[in-house]
Structure 1
Amino acid sequence: MTVPDCPDFPETTPHDIDEAAIREQLEFELESPDRSLLSGPKSRFKELTTIFRVSWDFVKAFRTLHFAGPAVTIFGSARTKPGTTYYELARTMGSECAKLGFTVITGGGPGIMEAGNRGAHEAGGRSIGVNIELPFEQHINPYVDRSVDMHYFFTRKTILVKYSYAFIVLPGGAGTMDEMFETMTLIQCGKLRNFPIILMGKDYWQPLMDFVYKMAEAGTISPEDPELIFFTDDPKEAIAHLQRHAVRQFGLKKRNLPTANSILGEKSMPSAS
């Protein structure tokens, strides 16, 4: 099993963002629930409204993913184009995870997220997107069986972790690093079981791994913490690691998913082929 020989990155093209789009972004930031949440005390009514917004995010996501079954989350850049090395690697991993019986969860957008969902979809597996509401760049990709839109980044990150037994991280930006290190921190602190974190894209991530080991040498993390990350570019090695540390360790097996209750407005996930 090898990833197709294709360029690591496409030619860089500027975002199609004009003055109107910039103004729209500024208005979005001023009115964004995230910005309001993080901008200090508000009136009691507005704080209560925020609590309901946060709760509604979780209610929507819980009801959507309750029927997902054992899942693997794939993190990575929204800007990676089809046909590039890392897009095809994410597509391969989505496919292989689906063949093991996992539902593949991503952030639901383009790039690496699309590739992971696409691989699962093409392999006949289940595919879910946990989307974030943004004025541009993010849109739900066409390879998800079920999706949920979230207002808040922090509620979205919680959902991307909550239902997964493993995390596959491909090249991405600050958001991808945030997701990986938050997951690692949850495992360090015992808030999350010792699920595997598989980091793929050695050329891209090597400086980051060097820094992780530097933190261990400096004593700012425990000496064993770097071992929480399995670093590889080989899909066979990644899947073998996932089988050892998720499938076997936690006794996962293919099973029937819970039955949805139409009275509660629930919808079952489609059966994997």
Structure 2
Amino acid sequence: MDSPSYRLAALDEDFLLGDSMRGVRFMLEYAKAEEELRAWGVASTVVIFGSARFKDDGPENHARWYNAARELGRIVSKRGGALKTKDHPRHNVIATGGGPGIMEAANRGAQDVGAPNIGFNITLPHEQEPNHYSTPELTFQFHYFAMRKMHLAMRANALVVFPGGFGTMDELFEVLCLRQTMKIPNELPIILFDKEFWTSTFNFDKLIEVGTINPEDVKLFSYADTPEEAWSQMVKAGLCSIPKDPN
């Protein structure tokens, strides 16, 4: 009876964390977040990406981007349907990676107006712990990037990407690839915040010139320089009139 083989499988941590159970752990990371999101009536989200390094009292651009993300979190939460009760579908709930910087700012903006908001955290050696503003019952922790990205994408009605580093670029280009290959709905607006930053960072015209993307691929995204402009683009894309079925 003292042998590890005698333990109940569901209570055997060594077994559950072994290589053979990786698929089960994937399923558990999907199911745990899914159950809580459904309990809160979250039908759709607006996902906001950006650097974890920005602060509201940081250098000029850092503070400007942080405060713009906070204002966008307020606008989307107040106008998009996140303030409904649990008994009704909540739409366009702010969702972020749950950490500091732009993620914190967007979650903070939602909290400013009393709206629930989501933090999809990931276990990392640094720069990742839950910020103080994501709703506790909607603050999750993932081991697998793939499952975290799936939850970020599967309910998204819009994606707004602020300046950021490797993680931000990874998330942006993954969603662009999903749009390009039609793995996610064609109406999903992808908005790059601060046109000057993005056009000076990436030369998309060069990619067209050398033939690595098609000219129409640059229509997969747009630019915005203010929170109101970003919101207007979402509305123009049908954000409020096209509820997204999470199934």
Of 60-69 and 110-119, more deviation after overlay is shown by 60-69
1:91 aligns with 70
Residues 152-174 of structure 1: CA deviation (Å, up to 9, x unaligned): 11211111111111000001101
Residue 217 of structure 2 aligns to which amino acid in structure 1?
D
1:4 aligns with none
Work out whether residues 196 and 246 of structure 1, in 8 Å CA contact, stay in contact via their aligned partners in 2: no
Work out whether residues 108 and 141 of structure 1, in 8 Å CA contact, stay in contact via their aligned partners in 2: yes
Q: Which runs of 5+ in 2 are unaligned?
A: 1-16, 58-62, 82-91
Shift of 1:47: 3.5
1:77 aligns with 51
Aligned to 2:110, the other structure's residue is in SS state helix
Structure 2 length-normalised TM: 0.79
> Does 1:203 pair with 2:196?
yes
Shift of 1:202: 2.8
1:105 aligns with 95
Matches within 5 A, 1:132-211: 132-145=122-135, 146-194=138-186, 195-209=188-202, 211=203
Aligned to 1:224, the other structure's residue is in SS state helix
Work out whether residues 103 and 128 of structure 1, in 8 Å CA contact, stay in contact via their aligned partners in 2: yes
1:119 aligns with 109
2:242 aligns with 251
Aligned to 2:43, the other structure's residue is in SS state coil
> Does 1:49 pair with 2:21?
yes
Alignment partners' CA distance in 1, 2:168 and 2:45: 18
Matches within 5 A, 1:29-40: none
Shift of 1:65: 2.3
Shift of 1:216: 2.1
Residues 44-103 of structure 1: CA deviation (Å, up to 9, x unaligned): x94422112211111122112233222100001111112301100110111111122221
Q: Which runs of 4+ in 1 moved over 4 A?
A: none
Compute the RMSD of aligned alpha carbons: 1.8
Percent identity between the two aligned chains:
41
Matches within 5 A, 1:230-245: 230-245=222-237
Residues 180-206 of structure 1: CA deviation (Å, up to 9, x unaligned): 111011011110002000100233222
1:65 aligns with 37
Matches within 5 A, 1:18-37: none
Work out whether residues 165 and 246 of structure 1, in 8 Å CA contact, stay in contact via their aligned partners in 2: no
Residues 8-39 of structure 1: CA deviation (Å, up to 9, x unaligned): xxxxxxxxxxxxxxxxxxxxxxxxxxxxxxxx
Aligned length: 207
Q: Which runs of 5+ in 1 are unaligned?
A: 1-44, 254-273
1:226 aligns with 218
Residues 100-138 of structure 1: CA deviation (Å, up to 9, x unaligned): 222100000111000000011102222110011123321
Alignment partners' CA distance in 1, 2:171 and 2:131: 20
Cα 1:246/1:180, change in 2 over 3 Å: farther
Aligned to 2:215, the other structure's residue is in SS state coil
Residue 71 of structure 1 aligns to which amino acid in structure 2?
T
Alignment partners' CA distance in 2, 1:181 and 1:169: 11
Aligned to 2:238, the other structure's residue is in SS state helix
